[in-house]
Chains A and B, each alone.
Chain A
């Protein structure tokens, strides 16, 4: 007869494989270059430029480069605060956890709702852009022009888009992971193609074969040249969307992700690469196409949803297929990394009792939030299908709404940082800048742009000019998302009020 001795499960982790994730770092270590690659892949420059250059140009015209550079400032300020919060509370749910901790459960819930809404909306936009380029690429490969027009066929477009999202959801549910080599190839390919595109565009300008050769002017870099504050705010909200993603580098913890250098270095380099790339491409596009409302002009509403689809052929000739492949691969990979996020946010919310515990269900086989993944992809699919039917400019309207939402939740998170660290802000000059001044300025700026854009978007002529009953569609979408959020929050409060009653608890680390 054996003796029965039952040791309880070791709480947490074995000492041997301990909490020290740095064991076996050599395999998964990320140097500065790796950090930059991850940052650039998350920003997905090819996809972002294709989707956002048109709408931004329509708002600020030839001051595009100025707005792109200025728009980065609030992002940078907020990201500094993000980094502090991430060091203090690395738990899942980021905005949700942080805002709940700083401002209590109600604001935390709403901030998190906006984050969820933005990520779910961007899923549909990513997949939508991918559909355009999917058919364009096939048409370029086969030389059959009619295939490129399939994307204009609403049922075909919707079915293809839903198929893409379903595949992405499946990959995310299975927990399949991208390898280092895959990301390096993808990012290099995007950068090379975008630079190539720019060089080709400049060459057309030089040889006089450009569509509307526009003389370079330093005024392009003057943000005060933008006609009105409304236009400027709209441009900034869009540029916030354009940069959405670079802060991933700052939130990589040395401990959990095996960064071998300070994330700060990688973040700085990522900024330089991205801002440089964006400036180059926008200068090239402006010089080549101008901002007129004719044919290939950036002001032409017919091509604004997807500028590269229209410009690739005229600029690169037979090599236009490279642009299609770059945008396609960039949106597909971005779709993948964005698919993980809302599911995990819901997982955290379900876990803390801010959503039904169903959302905290984890698939034992793959250790992924299965239920939350399925829910987010269903919402994204329904949203896309409805929008595609309602609006002719679905992608444009979605991007504009997204810019607003991102402004809002970034702003709220930045202010959460200020409030959370209010007692430590006077410890040192570094603390004062990182924990109070930078996030406060960034948060206020972003919220100003948010309210200005929200106000302007009531105008039926705003953005793409989509409207319902004399009110701009972007405004309606924004309000609808908010109202739905408040309703969902109240329902959750009725169902299980505990989360809203108790003080939000999470793991907190001291930061210096």
Chain B
């Protein structure tokens, strides 16, 4: 592991945001499942919604049975019972939300939680999807749904670290840029976020994905781009980003790749 201190540089001017780049925060969707990790996500969702004045929606996805996993003897449909329980969890979730946040909540069904959240994010036209990471204090395992989202979400995905309190206001936006790509899509997104939230923006370069050497301020968030393997307008968490994720005490926001000609060629060559 390299112990070289990452270079942090504060951008002088915020980049001009073109209108066709939807990196402003207007609608935030929180994937909620009633567990502790979901509560981390909810606190992060509220924190971002308050900072950006965005509308917040809480989404609970009830998983449908897979056809090829029959229960024997047949027991009928338990999804309704689970959905009812889910409504109870949603009610508890709503009680955690301060009154100044515009809030709605929904229950939907899907073959997997990740699929359900992606469908809900598209339907809500969400600019950001928030989930708990389940990663923290060096633990590597995430919820299977989070794992799937990290490799397929079409909307930016924010991961709340374990035990995220959300008490600090968002104070700083960091953009992770790699040393060999000076211009990065994440830079633009971070700049426009910082502008909307009225906070400073800095670029960070990691060496060997070592995120421990930085003194991350409370209230900071880190934006990172997807791996070059990502499909068009999709996320894909690269190796470096995955390493960073396990060490990061602040929320990590993974941005999907934009549709660029260069990327199209790469995607084709990968196929």
Contacts and interface: CB of A to CB of B under 8 A. Distances in A.
A14 B123 CA distance: 10
A338 B75 CA distance: 11
A17 B68 contact: no
Interface string B46-60: 000000010000000
B74 A247 contact: yes
Interface in A78-124: 86, 89-95, 97, 115, 118-119
B81 A351 contact: yes
A426 interface: no
A339 to B, nearest CB: 9
A4 B104 contact: no
B67 A258 contact: yes
Contacts of A177: 65-66, 68-69
Interface of A: 1-10, 12-14, 16-17, 21, 24, 27-28, 30, 34, 37-38, 41-42, 86, 89-95, 97, 115, 118-119, 175, 177-180, 182-183, 244-245, 247-248, 251-252, 256-258, 334, 336-338, 340-341, 344-345, 347-348, 351, 360, 362, 364-365, 367, 369, 507
Given A28-B66, A341-B72, A367-B63, A9 B33 contact: no
A507 B84 CA distance: 14
B81 A365 contact: no
B70 interface: yes
A296 B110 CA distance: 52
A91 B111 contact: no
A6 B99 CA distance: 9
B38 A90 contact: no
A284 to B, nearest CB: 27
B78 A6 contact: no
25 contacts: A4-B99, A7-B105, A8-B105, A9-B87, A9-B90, A9-B106, A13-B83, A17-B119, A17-B123, A21-B64, A42-B70, A91-B77, A92-B76, A97-B76, A115-B73, A177-B66, A251-B76, A256-B65, A257-B65, A336-B69, A344-B71, A345-B75, A362-B81, A365-B35, A365-B37
Q: Which 4 A-B pairs have the closest CB atoms?
A: A364-B34, A340-B71, A177-B66, A364-B35
A248 B66 contact: no
A336 B116 CA distance: 25
A38 B62 CA distance: 23
Contact of B75 (A4, A118, A344): A344
Contacts of B77: 90-92, 256
Given A13-B108, A347-B78, A348-B78, A337 B67 contact: no
A14 B108 contact: yes
B85 A362 contact: yes
Nearest to A350: B81
Interface string B76-115: 1110111111010111001000011111111111110000
B62 A367 contact: yes
A341 B123 CA distance: 35
Nearest to A85: B76
Contact of A348 (B75, B104, B106): B75
Contacts of B63: 175, 367
A88 to B, nearest CB: 11
